[in-house]
Amino acid sequence: MRCIFWETSNVKDLQSHEISHIKYKALVSDEIRRLRLESEGDELRCELFYEKLGTRPSYVALSYSWGDEARRKRIVLNGKPFSVTTNLEEALRQMRSRGIPVLWVDTLCIKQDDNDEKSRQVVRMFAIYQRADEVAVWTGPHADGSEVVMKDDRRSPKSRAGCVEFQEI
């Protein structure tokens, strides 16, 4: 497993949009949802699909700062408009631009309005991150000198706890 840390200084303003409620199929036993990113177009289009974690599916686990909950963007999830934080939308765009087609993202892959599912999935998050091909950490846009910290971390491999690649965008 390798970890990738990204920052960017390009964040677009909030736009108003219509939002749909996504119907989630219930997870069974060892199953997880993964997110497939479509590779083309200005619109960010994603699809959820299901697979057993025990089959060792290929994916990148995305860890990210949620950012300001009031700042939202529209993506298309399973063919319907869906609202995500600006920070997540930007992280998904960065993943797509790097050719990463399949992700596990807690906010999208866990049914957020189902407390029972959230409780079960939170317990499994260690295994979900551990079995990922990579873990990408999105820190969000440059802010308050954060680019200096990233540069300092690149000079100090011991502080990266096993992460092998740092990239600044």
Query: Any idea which of 15-24, 49-58, 126-135 has the lowest mean pLDDT?
Result: 15-24
Q: In what order do the strands lie in the sheet with 165-166?
A: 80-85, 72-77, 45-52, 31-37, 102-105, 60-64, 134-141, 2-8, 165-166
Answer yes or no: is pLDDT of 159 > 50: no
d(CA 77, CA 43): 11
pLDDT tens-digit profile of 65-121? 877 888 999 999 999 999 999 999 999 999 999 999 999 999 999 998 899 999 999
Query: Any idea which of 43-47, 52-56, 165-169 has the lowest mean pLDDT?
Result: 165-169
User: What is the model's pLDDT at position 145?
Assistant: 66
* Maximum alpha-carbon separation in the chain: 46
Please name the helix (run of DSSP H) or strand (run of DSSP E) that holds residue 24, with its range, or none.
none
23: confidence class by pLDDT, cuts 50, 70, 90: confident
Mention every residue, 6+ apart, whose C-beta is less than 8 A from residue 45. 37, 38, 75, 76
Whole-number mean pLDDT of the chain? 79
d(CA 2, CA 162): 7
Phi, psi of 123 (to 5 degrees): -60, -30
